[in-house]
Structure 1
Amino acid sequence: MNVTLEDVSVRFPETTALDSVSLHWSEGRIHGLLGRNGAGKSTLLSLIAAARRPTSGSVRVQGQDPWERGALTERICLVRESGDLLDDDPISDTLGMLETLRPTFDRRYAEDLLDSFGLRPKAKLRTLSRGQRSTVGAIVGLATRAPLTLLDEVHLGMDAPTRQRFYDELIADYAENPRTYVISSHLIAELEPIVETVSILGAGSLVLQAEADDVRTRGVTLTGPAATVTELAQGLPVIGSRDLGPTRQLTLFGELDASALERARAAGVETGAVPLQDLFIHLTEEAPR
């Protein structure tokens, strides 16, 4: 399922959560939605899942407004931290409820995942640790196998091995059961290997939307004598600067031609790739938080 937002804004009496956001996510891919805390990620996903209406602009899933369209929204799964599940009932009861409500839900797969992650079906959600609750939510997101699956910071509270196991399971199941994923996170380094596109929100505005591979190739650092580096960067898109004594490192982001990089190397300036996490920090650090 594809998603299109056109000039979408969400305003509250004292703040603007989203400000004129337009983007498109094509179907059958894994999209990364990145942003600092409070950037508007959760608000955006709630619009797509028809949990909220925009103040202005349009939201379309498969060309339709999802608001009050049950036949469409039952094919959209939004999982927030802990999955909005039944807190006082056994996990198995939640699985039974989902099996009834979600036509694509695979209960056997969900039970296999519970076993794999060391969770008991008879355990009540309120008795679990924060990480275990998040794991149950992540299992729901995987096992629902909705054509459009929205995962909003589902990793919160999980330890590193559990998060890695979840990412591995997501990729494995995605290969066998393709669907559209939108994964919201601020753990950029962990998400980078699995996303195909990157959308970055900063203070409610869309800072960047691009193919993940393009983003990786468009970032470069220049490191060398301050005067030389500054001269080489004239007219180039500088998004970050760091000085250590007489040495300066500039982070550039944009279409850099081969001749510019060759001039840098000829001048004895080191060039390097920029991790997606560093680009994210530079691109969002000016946004008020």
Structure 2
Amino acid sequence: MKIEVKNLTKKYGAKTALNSISFTLEEPGIYGLLGRNGAGKTTFMEILAGQIIASDGEILIEGKNPFDNQELTESICLIKEGQNFKKDLTIKNVLKISSFFYPNWDEALALELVKEYNLDVKAKVKSLSKGMESALGIIVGLASKAPITIFDEPYIGLDAAARKKFYQILLEEYEENPRTIIFSTHLIDEVSLMFEEVLIIQDGELALQENADVLRNSAYAVSGKSEQVEKFIKNKRVLDTKKLAGMMTAYVYGHIEEAKLTGLSVEGVPIQELMIYLTERGAS
């Protein structure tokens, strides 16, 4: 489903959560939506899911606004880090309600994941630990088979093994049934290899939208004698620099192959580090 974001703005009183952002997601894929706390990611996801309305601009899904549009919202599943389900419902109730709401609901997958995460279907949501509640959210998100599935920090309370299992199942399900998966997380190093495209939001604005493979080859650290590094980085986009005892390391966004021809020491920068540098105030 094609997603068009056009000059999207959301204000809460005097605070601007999103400031006229625009981009398009054309194809099914796994998209990493990154940014610091308060950048506007969750606000964007809630507008996309039709849960809140924009102050200005719009989001169109196949040319239609998702707000107050049941036909569209049945095609969108947003799983947030908490408060996804009413506390007095049992897990069995949550799964049953979800099966009515999502037309592509996969009951077999839901039950398989309940067993995988060792959940008691008779337990009420209010009795679940944080990790168990996160597992329930993951189950609904995956089993919904929604054409647009959004995970906003979905695994709070899950240990490393449980998170790894989630990533594995997500990839398996995506390969079998491609859909648009938008993934917002602070554990970027754990999941960045899954991303096909990365979007970074900073202070309510779109700082970057790039193919993940291109991005991995476009950010690098170059090290050497200060005068050599300074000469190389002149007129380039420098994210950060560090100097010590006549030596210098510069973090650059550009073409890594150019750097390799200089004789300087060159190494790639992980997407998590790149996100930090790009969202640092004052990065040039």
Question: Where on the TM-score scale, by shorter chain, does this alignment land: which range?
Answer: over 0.9
Post-superposition offset of 1:153: 1.1
Cα distance in 2 for partners of 1:203, 1:14 equals: 14
Post-superposition offset of 1:244: 2.8
1:281 corresponding residue in structure 2? 276
* Percent identical residues: 35
CA contact (8 A) 1:207 1:283 kept: yes
CA contact (8 A) 1:3 1:26 kept: yes
Cα distance in 2 for partners of 1:239, 1:250 equals: 8
1:163 corresponding residue in structure 2? 163
2:260 corresponding residue in structure 1? 261
Post-superposition offset of 1:83: 6.0
1:119-268 aligned within 5 A: 119-255=119-255, 258=258, 260-262=259-261, 264-265=262-263
Cα distance in 2 for partners of 1:241, 1:158 equals: 36
Q: Tell me the alpha carbon deviations over residues 114-146 of structure 1, each in whole angstroms, 9 at most, x when there is no partner.
A: 101111111222112111111110111000000
Post-superposition offset of 1:37: 0.9
Deviant stretches of 4+, over 6 Å:
none
Post-superposition offset of 1:15: 0.9
* Match status 1:19 vs 2:14: no
Does the residue aligned with 2:4 lie in a helix, a strand or coil?
Answer: strand
Q: Tell me the alpha carbon deviations over residues 226-249 of structure 1, each in whole angstroms, 9 at most, x when there is no partner.
A: 122111211121111112332211
Post-superposition offset of 1:100: 1.5
Post-superposition offset of 1:255: 3.8
> RMSD over aligned Cα, in angstroms?
1.6
Does the residue aligned with 1:192 lie in a helix, a strand or coil?
Answer: helix
CA contact (8 A) 1:149 1:182 kept: yes
1:118 corresponding residue in structure 2? 118
**What are structure 2's unaligned runs of at least 5 residues?**
none
Cα distance in 2 for partners of 1:117, 1:256 equals: 42
Q: TM-score, normalization: structure 2?
A: 0.95
Post-superposition offset of 1:85: 1.2
Q: TM-score, normalization: structure 1?
A: 0.94
Return the match for 2:265 from 243, 267, 270: 270
CA contact (8 A) 1:83 1:140 kept: no
**What are structure 1's unaligned runs of at least 5 residues?**
none
Cα distance in 1 for partners of 2:220, 2:250 equals: 8
Does the residue aligned with 2:248 lie in a helix, a strand or coil?
Answer: strand
